[in-house]
Amino acid sequence: MKRARVVVSGAVQGVFFRAETRDRARSLGLAGWVRNAPEGTVEAVFEGDDERVESMVAWCRRGPSGARVDDIEVAWEEPEGDEGFAIR
């Protein structure tokens, strides 16, 4: 079980980043959330199976087809037992 907090910067708002993140995370059975941050980044938390969390973090490095990812920050945290995945 892993938990990752990611902050993605670039052209990542207004390109369905949150919706695609939610759909992919749910399809992988991950818990957590995703939101647009005021500074123009997208922040997300993924919690679940190690390989699936790592797969989601790797996807965030590319993002959806309309996005341009310039940078991604990843912080590994202790799992908190989140359930479900939501857009905040």
Q: Give catalytic residue positions.
A: 18, 36
Strand partners, 9: 71
Q: Exposed, middle or buried by CB within 10 Å (0-12, 13-18, 19+), for 68?
A: exposed
CA distance 86 to 32: 7
